[in-house]
Amino acid sequence: MSRQLDDSNYSSANVVAVAGLNLALSFENASVERLEKRLSESIVPEVKQKILHHLDQTKKQQERLRERIRVLGTGMSPTTEKGRLPIPEPPHKLKMMIESSSSDNEREVWESLNDLIIERAEAIMYRGGIQALQLLRADKKTIKELEKCLKEEEVFGDWLEKNNPKIAKRLMITQIEEKKQGRKKKMRETVQEEKEEAVSAAAV
């Protein structure tokens, strides 16, 4: 009777574990899609390099999660669905204004902040999942795999938190300088046009 109870508890723990792993996998599925989009749109070389590296890590995280889901053997398949990433959603009118009027530099600053929010949220998810599996006395191999995922999310998040302010400052300074140069160029063109008009009027 005791052995049957133990088996039942173990099976129940596996079902809960697999549900949690599939939840994590759904977020990583969404993360791969976002990272690929960020890779194609980012205008900062060092950010693109870090995103490319983390994209590779994220694909490996997907494989780890899929493998643990299969190994735990509850009959549940690894999900192919995409979870909703925790990106702040501004009011519709404000979102339209941001998207229509923001420069490439401003959009990069905005999206880098979203990158950091996602990484911190994923780290919290993995940390909570590890604690839950420890309480359930779940498979130790699964816990170790989640610990690897957690470490990768923390490292990328730490890099973003450290470097985002410096990159944002650089982008904004560049944008200000470009606007200044643009105004100077426009003033020179205006002066030149006025001179040409004056010459034409004198000739008449």
Please identify which residue in the block is written with the tokens 């985002």: 164
> What are the phi and psi torsion angles at 174 (to 5°)?
-60, -45
b vs e for 20-34, b when ≥16 Cβ sit within 10 Å of the residue's Cβ? bbbebbbbbbbbeeb
Q: Is the pLDDT of residue 186 over 50?
A: yes
Phi-psi region of 106 (alpha: psi -120 to 50; beta: other; left: phi over 0): alpha
The answer to whether the pTM exceeds 0.85 is no
Count Cβ neighbours within 10 Å for each residue of 178-189 and write b for 16 or more, e otherwise.
eeeeeeeeeeee
- What are the structural domains of the chain? 2-178 (1.20.1260.10)
Tokens of 31: 């993360």
pLDDT (tens digit per residue) in 112-164? 999 999 999 999 999 999 999 999 888 899 999 999 999 999 999 999 999 99
The answer to whether 47 touches 164, Cβ cutoff 8 Å, is no
